[in-house]
Amino acid sequence: MSASWNYLQNGKPQGPVPEEELKQLIGTGQVPREVLVWRPGLAEWTKASQFPELLPAAPSPVLPGAAAPDPAVHIPFEPPRAAVRAVPETSSLEAQAAVAGAMEALRATKPWARFMGVLGAIGIVLMVLVSLLVAFLSRGPFKGMPAPMRIVLPSVYILFGALQIPPVVYLNRYASRIGVLLRSHAPEDLTRALEAQKTFWRYVGIFALVVTCLYGLLILGGVGVAAAAGALRRF
């Protein structure tokens, strides 16, 4: 009797389904060859491509003059299997599927975290260069610029560049810890990766709150100045 298999689809376990049915789903492309599968006797979720019995058989070339193989003849083949650890309980199936889905999500997140970290580092360098350019131009072509502006503009660019340093560091740390986790699959490395992500979002949240408060103060200050100017015009 063929084995029954579970497979992971959109982060949720499906099945159990007969082996022939899963093989047909993979053969027709409804389920990818790299889908994570599990059946009783396996220690963890594994890619379907690791099990030849789940993959559609490749057609054998027929040499000229050779008789075509009889489709009615079926030679059972069971590939050798390595010894597995204790069979997981059925109740842990959902938990294993959740862990496998989380690992795949982190695997897809890593390149984007690294990309944003590198992009942020480039932004910091550009802001420093712009501040130096403004300082240089204020002594040359823009020599007539008021003295406060010659100091304020470069300082603003330097300040914004400095504010970008922490999130860039946190993003690159997050990407690096995801890489460690994907190699080790250790729970403590998962905790470290999520801690790095939490630190990044905490900084972004505090920064957004401070900026929102500053905008609020600027708006209130503008309204106050406008009201004071209107009151003075009446006298």
DSSP 222: H
149 & 35 share domain = no
Give the pLDDT score at 92.
Answer: 59
Whether residue 150 lies inside any domain: the answer is: yes
199 & 112 share domain = yes
120 & 222 share domain = yes
Whether residue 73 lies inside any domain: the answer is: no
Q: Which domain holds residue 35?
A: 1-57
149 & 50 share domain = no
Q: Which conformational region is residue 116 in: left (phi greater than 0), alpha (psi within -120 to 50 degrees), or beta?
A: alpha
DSSP 153: H
210 & 126 share domain = yes
111 & 227 share domain = yes
> Phi and psi of 8, rounded to 5°?
-100, 125
121 & 227 share domain = yes
Give the pLDDT score at 94.
Answer: 67
Give the pLDDT score at 221.
Answer: 86
Give the pLDDT score at 234.
Answer: 74
Whether residue 98 lies inside any domain: the answer is: no
Give the pLDDT score at 206.
Answer: 92
125 & 230 share domain = yes
DSSP 58-118: PPPP--TTPPPPPTT-------------PPPPGGGHHHHHHHHHHHHHHHHHHHHHHHHHH
Classify burial at 164, counting beta carbons within 10 Å of its beta carbon; exposed 0-12, middle 13-18, buried 19 or more. Answer: middle
One pLDDT digit (tens) per residue for the chain, 235 residues:
567 888 887 777 787 888 888 888 888 888 887 888 888 877 778 887 888 787 776 655 555 555 555 544 444 444 444 444 444 444 456 667 777 788 888 888 989 989 998 998 998 888 888 878 877 776 655 566 566 666 777 788 788 888 889 999 999 999 999 999 888 888 888 889 889 899 999 988 998 898 899 888 889 988 888 888 877 777 6
Whether residue 112 lies inside any domain: the answer is: yes
47 & 128 share domain = no
The total number of structural domains in the chain stands at 2
Whether residue 2 lies inside any domain: the answer is: yes
Residue 17's domain is classified under what CATH number?
3.30.1490.40
Q: Does the model's pTM come out above 0.75?
A: no
Give the pLDDT score at 176.
Answer: 92
d(CA 212, CA 216): 6
Give the pLDDT score at 173.
Answer: 92
131 & 213 share domain = yes
Whether residue 85 lies inside any domain: the answer is: no
Whether residue 204 lies inside any domain: the answer is: yes
Under 8 Å CB-to-CB from 200, ≥6 apart: which residues?
167, 170, 171, 174
Give the pLDDT score at 58.
Answer: 60
Whether residue 201 lies inside any domain: the answer is: yes
